[in-house]
Amino acid sequence: MTIVDLPEDVWQIVALFFPQRELSPLISVNKALYNIVLNAKYREIHWDKVDKDLARTLVRLRTPCIAQRVRRLHVRAWFIEYLNRKEAQSRPSAMAISKRWLNRHLRLPSRLSHGAKGNTTYAEDIMEAMTEALSLMSQVTEYTFEWRDLSPNQRTLRLLSTARSAFGISLRKLTLNAQLENFRALVSTVEFENLEDLELYFDHDNIELDVEETLRILQNTIAPFINRFRRTISSLFIFSASKADLSSLFPALDKFPRLYNLIFHLPWDSAHLSEPDALIGFLRRNTEMLRSIELRKSYAAVSEPADAPTCIWSQFSRALLSDPRVLTDLTILKIPAFRSFEETLACINYSAHTLTTLHLVDYFFGEDELLAFVQLFARRNLDSGLRTLYIGLSTLTVSTIDLLARRLPALDSLGLVLAEYVASEIMIMQHNILVLQASPFCMSLAAHSFPEWGLANIGENLVKAVHRNTLFDPGRNSNHAAHRSLLPEHPQFQSPTSIYICIHLSGISVTSGKIFNHLRMSSCSVFGDKWSIILLFFHSLGAYDHEFLSR
């Protein structure tokens, strides 16, 4: 057997050891590498701006053997309306130049090439090319479409209908982002037989909808659309930045027999969820299979800015706590804290025997409270226990770390949010990474060792500034590879302290030598005054030696 006769799955394993830039030149070596390179290049496609890359991609995607390699397609159609407006304001000579550029780069077929000479607009030609490419994508499993001010005309609906026809059977995940008033046109073109994951984003409103119109959209458009997938859907995510009161949506939703994961990012106030019991009722109907719940706060405008809506989280949490069925047997729970520590502890206790991931925000644990908290998981002897934990601490001592290491030995990922007064006591600017901090905390930490603690991912968060209701956490799409995340996506800790800097080492084992190469190069620009404390964590975990760092 020669090297080129190896099975393709062997070549796929070999390709994992090559960066993409080094793999691409190997496309002509054999058929296996040819497929591997093209699959990597066209597996995920983004249509979010008009440039030469889009033009080249559309040319290739009108070839069936290329289009069928697409698995994830993301369309952010804002640029279509932008092109329409720009063309309306452009001089005729500029329009002609644009169309000649389009015709040259897209290599339009005869019926479109004729349009590019004057009978159609620049935006229409792009839409035609996108529609043709879509019709050939028969293997797409994940589809994202953001409406972004797109006009609901015949060409737009044809583009959406083409997507339904092309990957109606293969699609597993669908993400739709639009204003409420546009969902009627958007969902009328959607029919996917095997959908498992549905994400809906209700964007900021372009027009003012009255109460009756909002009610009609939620009950006659949104709810029937979601219910259409009741037999197949296992994950549902709803994010709202709309002014609409969503209370009428939840009673109209059916029971979903396969619903495993539920995520709601909502404005938890009386203007946007006037009847919290409506959401509680939906949760009750779906407790049988539900194992993952994430509830977070989003921000939305209100119709009457002078009327400040009241927070309904306390009312909602009381109702949630009164029905243990909703919170029982969960494996993932991400929520704000309840009104009191006792209520929060009772909530967690319902699933303490099954939880593997817990994100608790809007509360800072004291030492005694942290002890009571970790004791909830003490009887987890027959499984791996809690694996991911994200909490706030009002104090950080070596005994705190020791407590977490002893009581949560299976912990794989840890995120700690520290108040500023705590952080200032232990974080001092340190330029020399070999010189340990002289503070009692750092010296004590350096003397400890936790070699049996299997911690692999560390999220270290410092609370900065002082503002109300503006603190953010890393969110669902946290960036990896040890770099800063400063994007304020999701408000969380609703205390008088706010904006924080988050450093994530997600997905990287601290025992891997590769991470330290990155940390040494990034210590000044990325970690700043937080380098020493992270270094001490690695030292305590037995993850490095001084000889390595001195090289």
Q: Is the pLDDT of residue 471 over 60?
A: no
Provide the terminal-to-terminal Cα distance of the chain, rounded to the nearest Å. 44
Q: What are phi and psi of 186, to 5 degrees?
A: -70, -50
Classified as helix, coil or strand, 415 is strand
In whole angstroms, give the CA distance from residue 317 to residue 448.
Answer: 40
Q: What is the pLDDT at residue 394?
A: 85
Q: Is the pLDDT of residue 431 over 50?
A: no
Give CA torsion, residues 348, 352, 356, 357, to 10 deg.
10
In whole angstroms, give the CA distance from residue 325 to residue 87.
Answer: 57
Q: pLDDT digits over 248-258, tens only?
A: 999 999 999 99
Q: What is the pLDDT at residue 121?
A: 63
Q: Is the pLDDT of residue 541 over 50?
A: no
Whole-structure pTM value: 0.77
Q: What is the pLDDT at residue 519?
A: 35
Confidence band, pLDDT 50/70/90 cuts, at residue 4: low
Q: What is the pLDDT at residue 79?
A: 80
Classified as helix, coil or strand, 200 is strand
Q: What is the pLDDT at residue 486?
A: 26
Classified as helix, coil or strand, 400 is helix
DSSP for residue 364: E
- Ranges 263-272, 297-306, 416-425, most confident: 263-272
Range of lowest pLDDT (33-37, 288-292, 482-486, 546-550): 482-486
Nearest to 260 by CA among 291, 227, 228: 291
In whole angstroms, give the CA distance from residue 274 to residue 146.
Answer: 28
Q: Is the pLDDT of residue 108 over 60?
A: no
Q: What is the pLDDT at residue 512?
A: 33
- Ranges 136-150, 244-258, 417-431, most confident: 244-258
Angle at CA 312, nearest 5°, toward 310 and 314? 125
Q: Is the pLDDT of residue 228 over 90?
A: yes
Q: What are phi and psi of 96, to 5 degrees?
A: -65, -40
Instruction: For residues 539-544, give the mean pLDDT.
Output: 43
Q: What are phi and psi of 47, to 5 degrees?
A: -110, 95
Instruction: For residues 261-284, give the mean pLDDT.
Output: 93
Nearest to 482 by CA among 437, 448, 512, 441: 512
Hey, what are 257's tokens? 């027999």
Helices (H) and strands (E) in the chain, counts: 23, 17
Q: What is the pLDDT at residue 381?
A: 67
CB atoms within 10 A of CB 389: 23
CB neighbours of 94 closer than 8 A, spacing ≥ 6? none
Q: What is the pLDDT at residue 523?
A: 32
Q: pLDDT digits over 62-94, tens only?
A: 999 999 999 999 998 888 777 777 766 665 555
Nearest to 404 by CA among 414, 394, 392, 419: 414
- Ranges 108-117, 118-127, 277-286, most confident: 277-286
In whole angstroms, give the CA distance from residue 317 to residue 348.
Answer: 12
Classified as helix, coil or strand, 473 is strand
Q: What is the pLDDT at residue 143?
A: 95
Q: pLDDT digits over 355-370, tens only?
A: 999 999 888 899 999 9
User: Which residue do the tokens 């009164």 mark?
Assistant: 322
- Higher model confidence: residue 534 or residue 215? 215
CB atoms within 10 A of CB 259: 21
Q: What is the pLDDT at residue 103?
A: 58
Which residues face 345 on adjacent strands?
none
Q: How large is the C-alpha radius of gyration of the chain?
A: 27
Q: Parallel, antiparallel, or unpaired for β 197-202 and 235-240?
A: parallel
Count of alpha carbons within 13 angstroms of residue 233, beta-carbon side: 22
- Higher model confidence: residue 45 or residue 53? 45
Q: Is the pLDDT of residue 212 over 80?
A: yes
- Cβ(370)–Cβ(394) below 8 Å: no
Q: Parallel, antiparallel, or unpaired for β 357-365 and 388-393?
A: parallel
Q: Is the pLDDT of residue 468 over 60?
A: no
Q: Is the pLDDT of residue 542 over 50?
A: no
- Helix, strand, coil abundance in the chain, percent, nearest 5: 45, 15, 40
Instruction: Output the average pLDDT for the chain.
Output: 75
Q: What is the pLDDT at residue 289?
A: 92
Q: What is the pLDDT at residue 42?
A: 93
Confidence band, pLDDT 50/70/90 cuts, at residue 2: low
Instruction: For residues 315-322, give the mean pLDDT.
Output: 90
